[in-house]
Amino acid sequence: MEGIFDVIRCGQVVGRVEVKREGLYCRISCRCRVADGQIHRLYADREKLGVLIPERGELVLETKVTAKRLKDGCVFSLDENRREFIPIRPGEGFPHLDKVRLMKLAFRDGEPGIYLE
């Protein structure tokens, strides 16, 4: 996997990540603009890649990971664990169909649901 990809947080693009293949590894260079003063972690789907550090008004991460940790088509995002979980219950309506492109099917504590990106 190589290229330049968007970084998503709460459904919004907040930065870019560049992935370059180097043998069995991938070099990751990430730059994001998030002005909330919090510490953020970069994820590739659910794979933790590292914590971004403040540098000249941006949050930055430079790291290397084994290539097998990055799946083709993975989504780069901040704060995977802070996504909103909405349970899916048979017989109940689902009010979030307008956000269907931002959802990922998941299970939490054995209950099926979706995470909103």
| Phi and psi at residue 75, to the nearest 5° | -105, 125
- β-sheet with 12-22: strand ranges across: 47-51, 41-44, 76-78, 3-9, 12-22, 25-32, 58-66, 53-55
10-47 pLDDT, tens digit each = 778 999 999 999 999 999 999 999 777 788 999 998 88
Place of tokens 């017989």: 91
Q: pLDDT at position 104, please?
A: 67
High-pLDDT (> 70) share of the chain, %: 76
CB 80 within 8 A of CB 117: no
Confirm whether pTM is higher than 0.75: no
Question: How far is 63 from 8, CA to CA, in rounded Å?
Answer: 19
Q: pLDDT at position 50, please?
A: 94
48-100 pLDDT, tens digit each = 999 999 998 899 999 999 999 998 888 899 865 455 666 767 777 766 666 66
